[in-house]
Amino acid sequence: MPKFLILGKNGQVGWELQRSLALKGEVLGLGREDEGGDLYRPEEVASKIIAYHPDIVFNAAAYTAVDKAESEQDKAFAVNSTAVREIAQACQQIGAILVHYSTDYVFDGSGNSPRDEKAPTKPLNVYGQSKLAGEDEILRYCPQSFIFRASWVYGVHGKNFIKTILRLAQTKETLKVVSDQIGAPTSAEFIADISAELALRALNEKNKLFGICNLVPNGTTSWCDFAKWIVSQTQSLGIDQALKPQNIHPIPSTEYPTPAVRPLNSRLDNNKLRSQFNEGCIHDWSVYAKRILIEVIGH
């Protein structure tokens, strides 16, 4: 029976990984409160990895507060880069596969075309810089690894854009949402299921997918259209809200100032991912979003 270690078990992806891996082996999930689970104490994390000796380490812990990172650069780099190096070195030492997650924010978002795994990186904000630094540590110290780049992650467990919009929709009659940032909302459940599947294949079949792989569903939208979609889906489920989809107004990013600059074009090319699965297995982003929306509303 394979052994898995999940770091960041209480995050959106970490939570779903516990579900995805539950029947596939022995699972140890650690949060920051657990011994060896605090990435601000990277030596303890490394010691825990070496002592537990898992076949696969899933690192779902990250500093993800994009705006706050602008004024907490040290913390963002400590979690997203320094700790990642220690984790990579520990995995390499014991021969474990490392599964790690990264982001569309490693790019500058110029142009309109989707970026593949080889596209040049150029982060616009501290969070993106710290995530890119983490990628580099893994590529340097643990070649037996997956770096799955996702975008716009949401899930039942944790904070995300779907929950924010549902909350605002209860009280606000109008909302302005940026319409010039384009990307693929990605379900944490989808990320967990696919990354677990590909890592298990690597363990059992010794296939050579290791390296960077974009992990996004098909299709793209803007934050504004995503917000409209969330509200209209909720409405069609019979839930009454103050906010109507037609009262969500598109604005350019320049009219929504935030401490961190965000990329406009967050499109990630998922051809590499799709080549690993049968035709039709990867769906449009809205298929996954509908499922989670229903689960969130039910809560």
Ligand X SMILES: NC(=O)C1=CN([C@@H]2O[C@H](COP(=O)(O)OP(=O)(O)OC[C@H]3O[C@@H](n4cnc5c(N)ncnc54)[C@H](OP(=O)(O)O)[C@@H]3O)[C@@H](O)[C@H]2O)C=CC1
List contacts with ligand X (CB under 6 A).
Answer: 8, 10-14, 32, 37-40, 60-64, 79, 101, 103, 131, 150-153, 158, 188
Has 105 been annotated as catalytic? no
The amino acid present at 69, given as its one-letter code, is A
Binding to ligand TDO by residue 151, rule CB under 6 A?
yes
Q: Is 66 in the site for ligand TDO (CB under 6 A)?
A: yes
When asked if residue 228 is in the footprint of ligand TDO (CB under 6 A), the reply is no
Least distance (Å) from ligand X to the CB of residue 196? 14
Which is nearest to 169 in space by CA: 252, 239, 238?
A: 239
What does the alpha-carbon distance between residue 35 and residue 150 come to, in Å, rounded to a whole number?
A: 28
The answer to whether 195 contacts ligand TDO (rule: CB under 6 A) is: no
126 lines the binding site for ligand TDO (CB under 6 A): no
Q: Which of ligand TDO, ligand X, none interacts with 32 (beta carbon under 5 to 8 A by kind)? A: ligand X
In whole angstroms, the minimum distance from the beta carbon of 94 to ligand X comes to 20
Q: How far apart are CA 226 and CA 245, in angstroms?
A: 10
| Residue 40 binds: one of ligand TDO, ligand X, none (C-beta under 5 to 8 A by kind) | ligand X
Given 127, 141, 154, 288, the catalytic residue: 127
Residue 63 touches which of ligand X, ligand TDO, none (CB < 5 to 8 A by kind)? ligand X
Using CB distances below 5 to 8 A depending on partner kind, what does residue 11 bind out of ligand TDO, ligand X, none?
ligand X
Q: Whose Cβ is closer to ligand X: residue 55's or residue 189's?
A: 189
What secondary structure, in 3-state letters, does the chain show? Answer: CCEEEEECCCCHHHHHHHHHHCCCCEEEEECCCCCCCCCCCHHHHHHHHHHHCCCEEEECCCCCCCCHHHCCHHHHHHHHHHHHHHHHHHHHHHCCEEEEEEEHHHCCCCCCCCECCCCCCCCCCHHHHHHHHHHHHHHHHCCCEEEEEECCEECCCCCCHHHHHHHHHHHCCCEEEECCCEECCEEHHHHHHHHHHHHHHHHHHCCCCCEEEECCCECCEEHHHHHHHHHHHHHHCCCCCCCCHHHEEEECHHHCCCCCCCCCECCECCHHHHCCCCCCCCCEHHHHHHHHHHHHHHC
Nearest to 269 by CA among 226, 212, 188: 212
Query: Which residue, 47 or 235, has its beta carbon nearer to ligand TDO?
Result: 235
Near ligand TDO by CB under 6 A: residue from 30, 177, 184, 264: 177
User: Could you tell me which stretch among 21-29, 91-99, 175-183, 235-243 binds ligand TDO (CB under 6 A)?
Assistant: 175-183
Residues 240-299 contacting ligand TDO, CB under 6 A: 256, 262
The binder of ligand TDO chosen from 80, 89, 103, 187 (CB under 6 A): 103
Among 38, 104, 135, 189, binds ligand TDO (CB under 6 A): 104
* Contact residues for ligand TDO, defined by CB under 6 A: 64, 66, 103-105, 151-153, 161, 164, 175-178, 181, 223, 256, 262
| Catalytic residue annotation | 127
